[in-house]
Structures are given as C-alpha cells and as structure tokens.
Copies of this chain bind each other. A is one copy, B any other.
Amino acid sequence: MQDHLSTTFAALADPTRRAILGRLMQGETSVSELAEPFAMTMPAVSKHLKVLERAGLIARGREAQWRPCRLNASPLKEAANWIEDYRRFWGRHIDALERHLDRMKLAESASKTPGVKRAKKTRAGAFKARAPKPRKGRSR
C-alpha cells in the first residue's frame, strides 16, 4: 500500500480502530482497557493497535507489564489537508449523495425480493449535458 496517506486512510477505515482513537482522546491507557468495549479477543485488538502504530496514529510506551498507548493525531493533519482540497466541491451537487443512498436502499430491498432479476430499465435520464470528448483519432 506504500504511501503514507494511504496507510493513514486505511487505518481509519475500520470502526474499531476509530473507536480506539476516540477512546485515546481522553487520555493514554493500557491495551486491555482499550480492548474491553469490543467483542473480540486481545490479539485482535493488538493487531488493530499495530495498524494504528504503523500509521503513526498512536505511540506506545512501556510501564512494567503494561504497554500504554497514546494518541498522536499528526497524520490526521495530512489527511485533513488532502480532503480540504475538495471542500469547494461539497455543497454543489449536494443531494447526489442522498440520491446515491436512496438507490442503495432500493437495490438492497430489491435484492431481498426474489424473482425481480433487475429490470432492464436503467437507460439514460441522467447526464444529458456534454459528451466526454469522443476524440476520434488516437485509437491507441
């Protein structure tokens, strides 16, 4: 997965990991305390912590038999900066997401209904505006 930003986003793409970061906002703590709210074994949490650590989102110390974890949010700054560039785009086409979610919901209930088989009615309608530069030359 190579680059730093990808590692950061990948680390955030898990609700357990985000919850762990949330917990760490209120102060450094031990692994078992972090694990407690979750319905999973310690090694699983340990792996999540390793992912967070490799992303630089947490730092770990050692205090006798405990390995306290503390939050380090700086990689989030980089992520936030990346997202910032898109700020001027949310706001226009605002409801496209909602339409998307609606469609998802429909698709879901449709898939729950057997025998429907996805009617072939998906034609045109959206995107009548401009053709995307057909560029006849350069078949490549």
Contacts and interface: CB of A to CB of B under 8 A. Distances in A.
Interface of A: 1-3, 5-7, 9-10, 12-15, 18, 21-22, 25, 28-30, 33, 53-54, 56, 59-64, 66, 68, 70-77, 79-80, 82-87, 89-90, 93-94, 96-97, 99-101, 104, 122-124, 126-134
Given A9-B13, A10-B13, A83-B79, A74 B56 contact: no
Given A56-B101, A97-B56, A124-B62, A71 B89 contact: yes
A3 B104 CA distance: 13
Per CB-CB distance, the 3 closest pairs between chain A and chain B, nearest first, are A61-B127, A73-B89, A9-B13
Given A14-B6, A68-B132, A62 B96 contact: no
